[in-house]
Amino acid sequence: MGVRLLLAAATVALLGAAGAARAADPALVADVGLNDAYSISLKDASGAKVTHLDPGTYSLTIHDHSSIHNFHIDGPGVDASTEIPFVGDKTVTITIGDGTYFFQCDAHVGQMHGTFTAGTAGTTPPPPKPGLKKLAASLGPGAAFSLRPHSGLHAGKAVISVTDRSAADGFRLAGPGVTRSTGVKFRGSERWTVTLKAGRYSFGSLKSPKRRASFTVSS
């Protein structure tokens, strides 16, 4: 009887230890918009800036200090965010795999963004980058808008031919290092030469955030 009790106690102890190990996921801490500043950061439990992570499950605590900003992280298998009006703390569990991850404020992506790699990403030389990229953007008629191509893009210089068919709205492109738009009353064509950087970009209506789409540029 005593042996059975000892075995049962040992089993309970092992299960408890396993449960504690599962609960102790590595911690990440995000901060955005302290005192409404245009600031955003992602750090590990020691307070060091996150530049590279091992694949695995992490507990991410977001400290969102401002109703005009938000924190949004996305990448392979991850898409988590706070809402722009939200102020407070939010904790989510994320599973990081191999690849490049991006974080930003969706309202001010051109000024507030960051990136990090995980697993084997960033440990091998990147593939050769293509030459000057040529893109075509359009707005109108009506609610229509487009940017082609907006997939498979790498960082570097690009020439964008913009056709704006609306005299009551403008075409807008915003992301790391780029904030460009045609005027609300402008109708016609423009040619933009921009330098795309690794990160997430949004494009579409100048006046309405709901009429925008996004794409990701790789390093």
Strand partners, 159: 134, 193
SS3 content of the chain, % helix, strand, coil (to 5): 15, 50, 40
CA angle, 37 as apex, 203 and 103 as ends, to 5°?
45
Instruction: Indicate whether 113 and 139 sit together in one domain.
Output: no
Instruction: Indicate whether 140 and 83 sit together in one domain.
Output: no
Q: Which two tokens stand for residue 90?
A: 């939010």
At which of 90, 118, 146 does a domain end? 118
The parent domain of residue 201 ranges over 133-218
Query: Is a pLDDT exceeding 60 seen at residue 24?
Result: yes
Instruction: Indicate whether 106 and 137 sit together in one domain.
Output: no
pLDDT for residue 125: 54
DSSP classification of residue 147: E
Helices (H), the chain: 2-23
**Structural domain includes residue 210:** yes
Tell the residue number behind the tokens 């210089």, with chain if given: 157
Instruction: Indicate whether 173 and 87 sit together in one domain.
Output: no
Residues 6+ away with beta carbon under 8 Å from 45: 26, 27, 28, 29
**Structural domain includes residue 193:** yes
**Structural domain includes residue 128:** no
At which of 65, 94, 118 does a domain end? 118
- The CATH number of residue 183's host domain is 2.60.40.420
Instruction: Indicate whether 106 and 141 sit together in one domain.
Output: no
Question: What is the model's pTM?
Answer: 0.56
- Report percent pLDDT > 90 for the chain: 68
- Phi, psi at 123, each rounded to 5°: -95, -10
Instruction: Indicate whether 91 and 160 sit together in one domain.
Output: no
Confidence of residue 132 (pLDDT cuts 50, 70, 90): confident
Gap between the Cα atoms of 34 and 188, Å rounded: 41
Instruction: Indicate whether 163 and 186 sit together in one domain.
Output: yes
- Residue 137 CB-half CA count within 13 A: 26
Over residues 44-54, mean pLDDT:
94
**Structural domain includes residue 124:** no
**Structural domain includes residue 100:** yes
Instruction: Indicate whether 143 and 114 sit together in one domain.
Output: no
Number of compact structural domains in the chain: 2
At which of 63, 92, 118 does a domain end? 118
Residues 6+ away with beta carbon under 8 Å from 151: 215
Judge whether 197 and 133 are in contact, CB under 8 Å. no
In single-letter form, the type of residue at position 200 comes to R
Residues 6+ away with beta carbon under 8 Å from 94: 28, 57, 58, 60, 73, 78, 80
pLDDT for residue 22: 46
10-19, 27-36, 61-70, 191-200: lowest mean pLDDT where?
A: 10-19
Confidence of residue 126 (pLDDT cuts 50, 70, 90): low
**Structural domain includes residue 10:** no
**Structural domain includes residue 96:** yes
Residues 6+ away with beta carbon under 8 Å from 209: 107
